[in-house]
Amino acid sequence: MDNWTFGITMVVVGMGGTILTMWGLSLLMGLLKKAFPYKKEEEGK
């Protein structure tokens, strides 16, 4: 594989993969927050 193809692939797939993964994690965390909402009484624990 030549450097040009390698570089472009890394930029596109690397940046795209990172942001998609982090976006997916942010969605999952949003879901977790809804599934396990914060209760005030937790503060005392």
Partner 1 sequence: MFEAIVNGLYGLIAGFVSLHWSNPVMVGLGCLLLYLGIKKGIEPLLLVPIGFGCILVNIPLAGLMEEDGFLRTIYDAGIATELFPLFIFIGIGAMTDFGPLLENPRIFLLGAAGQFGIFLTLALALALGFSKLDAVAIGVIGACDGPTAIYVSSKYAPHLLSAVSVAAYSYMSLVPIIQPPIMKFLTTEEERKINMGAVKKTVSKTTKILFPLVVTVIGGLIAPKGLPLLGTIMLGNLMRESGVVSRLTKASENEIANIVTLLLGISIGATMDGRNFLTPQTLMVLCLGFVAICLDTVCGVMFGKLLKVLSGGKVNPLIGAAGISAYPMAARVAQREGQKYNPKNFLLMHAMGANTGGQVGSVMAAAVMLSVLKGMGVI
- The residues of the shown chain that bind partner 1, judged by CB under 8 A, are 1, 3, 6-11, 13-15, 17-19, 21-30, 32-33, 36-39, 42-43, 45
Least Å from the CB of residue 21 to partner 1:
5
Cα atoms in the 13 Å half-sphere on the side-chain side of 11: 6
- Name the token pair of 30: 């949003």
Least Å from the CB of residue 11 to partner 1:
5
Cα atoms in the 13 Å half-sphere on the side-chain side of 33: 6
Least Å from the CB of residue 22 to partner 1:
4
